[in-house]
Amino acid sequence: MELRQRHYHFYGFTIVELLVTLAIIGMLLAVVLASFSAARAKGRDVERETEIQRLAVELRIFAEKHGRYPSALDGNCDAETSFGVGGCLTILVDEGFLPSLPDDPLGESYTGNPQSHHMYFYDNECGSGGTSGTQYRLWANGERNHNATTAGWWNDQTIGATVCDDPV
């Protein structure tokens, strides 16, 4: 009697090969998404820097025209409310210096700490004191390191413009 041998040929991948492939794809996606996230944060910070510079120019022009910077004479000039309704910077829009005040790219609402929220802030205070209307601090909190503590700001993520020698 002759025994027949059957030959089975399996085509395809084993479960281990598929799992290794999925793990490699997952690691590559993690690297790409991390890079993409960092690029988006950098883009938002560039937008903040541009808005701060644009506002600083308009503040200089306002000061040349009025002999002072926007202050409590123009509305509420607390750091967290100066960009809002009734805030002192609305005069820049009212007098045609700006078409509108900027909103932060993340659009956060203020909940109590101007050193940690992603929004724009303005006030007439300096660490060294001074008269309201003769100075200003304008800042936003960025998402990356800007080495701002070397310029006297609260933390390295601060993006700021000021006429103060000592901003905090």
pLDDT tens for 53-103 read 999 999 999 999 999 999 888 988 888 888 888 889 999 999 999 999 988
Q: What is the DSSP string of 76-135?
A: B--TTTTTSTTBTTHHHHHTTS-SS----TT-PPP-S-TTTSSSEEEES--TT---TTS-
Q: What's the whole-model pTM score?
A: 0.73
- Residue pair 115/139 in contact (Cβ under 8 Å)? The answer is no
> What span, in angstroms and rounded, lies between the C-alpha atoms of 152 and 107?
26
pLDDT band at 129 (very low <50, low <70, confident <90, very high): low
| Three-state secondary-structure class, residue 152 | coil
CA–CA gap between residue 117 and residue 13 (Å, rounded): 51
Residues 6 or more apart whose Cβ sits within 8 Å of residue 98: 55, 58, 92
- Residues in the chain, total: 168
Look at residues 33, 42, 50 and name the one whose alpha carbon lies nearest to residue 142: 42
Residue 9's φ and ψ, nearest 5 degrees, are -115, 120
Q: What is the pLDDT of residue 54?
A: 93
Q: Which pLDDT value is given to residue 34? A: 82
